[in-house]
Amino acid sequence: MTKEILEQLQAEYPHAVRLHESMQNHTSFRLGGPADALAIPHSLEELRGILAFCGRHELPIFVMGNGSNLLVRDGGIRAVVIKISGALSTIRLTEYGLEAEAGISLSAVAHAAVDAGLGGLEFAAGIPGTLGGGVMMNAGAYGGEMKDVVRHVIALDYDGQEHCFSNEDLQFGYRKCYLQGRDLIVAKVGLNLREQDPNVSRALIADYNQRRREKQPLHLPSAGSVFKRPPGHYAGQLIEEAGLKGKRIGGAEVSTMHAGFIVNVGNATARDVEDLIHYVQQEVFAKFSVHLEPEVRIVGEYYGPLFLD
């Protein structure tokens, strides 16, 4: 991958592609080094074009949503980062519920469902991610998960070809599905929803959001729950019982409000967060013999690019 090829990519898609883009502007942790190139496609056709360019020039690709479950190391990402959010957010009513593009936020699609008199997606209204990211991670809260409502997914491979997956094909599990680790990008999602009084749905969403405000440090940059729930335990409870609430490394802190969150209390580096993750893992394992597996995706390099400085 050379600077000249990336400049050519930017010239072909000037409104979509930025070079040497700091990832702190694109993650909820508000930290992370630069991507060699960041592409934010404005349509599925533009996405196909960018994929085709990357394929012709054998450029590495990294796909993300809105960065709400992502820790990018301080050296950044040596790839073309394709961000599926923002413009890819069209939505339409169907005979089974809704179909929406993957870049729409979970909150927006949940509220659109309510406005259409459809229930079943209320649990997702406060999850800070995109619809596509929610499918990939089988996002869930308050007893609901994406596997409960996904009817089908239309995904693009890196050649721009469409593939359709049913709910059964997706093999949903705890914070995972079949699409993870494969060269596939969620493009559209069909959602099976039921008719429901909008007032009932709005009351549910208000209740869930109030619970979040009371228990989660929403006022500080974070990536939500850092660790997956270990079998038979709750990560936050184990971390609290290990006496780690308020533990800091640099500008990263185990939240004093909810021990399952690591927050950026000011000028944290990705290394601070990653070191704190490892420290928490070690302490919890030493005290309880339980391994905490990160739920947040950790990507990128410790040191920055050589040719884009």
61 pLDDT above the threshold of 80: yes
* CATH (domain of 283): 3.90.78.10
**Is 175 marked active-site?**
yes
Structural domain ending residue among the three candidates 35, 50, 83: 83
**Is 107 marked active-site?**
no
Note the pLDDT of residue 3: 87
Structural domain ending residue among the three candidates 83, 111, 144: 83
Check whether residue 138 and residue 234 sit in a common domain: no
Task: Band the pLDDT of 9: cuts 50, 70, 90.
Answer: very high
Decide if 220 is inside a domain: no
Out of 89, 175, 201, 222, which one is annotated catalytic? 175
Note the pLDDT of residue 95: 97
DSSP the chain: --HHHHHHHHHHSTTTEEEEEEGGGSSTT----EEEEEE--SSHHHHHHHHHHHHHTT--EEEESSSTTEEE-TTBEEEEEEE--TT---EEE-SSEEEEETTSBHHHHHHHHHHTTEES-GGGTT--SBHHHHHHTT-EETTEEGGGTEEEEEEEETTS-EEEEEHHHHT-BTTB-TTTTSSEEEEEEEEE-EE--HHHHHHHHHHHHHHHHHHS-TTS-EEEE-BPPPTTS-HHHHHHHTT-TT-EETTEEE-SS-TTEEEE-SS--HHHHHHHHHHHHHHHHHHH--PPPB-SEEESBSS--SS--
pTM of the model: 0.92
**Is 295 marked active-site?**
yes
262 pLDDT above the threshold of 90: yes
Out of 105, 225, 253, 255, which one is annotated catalytic? 225
Query: What mean pLDDT comes out for the span 166-185?
Result: 95
Structural domain ending residue among the three candidates 83, 117, 137: 83
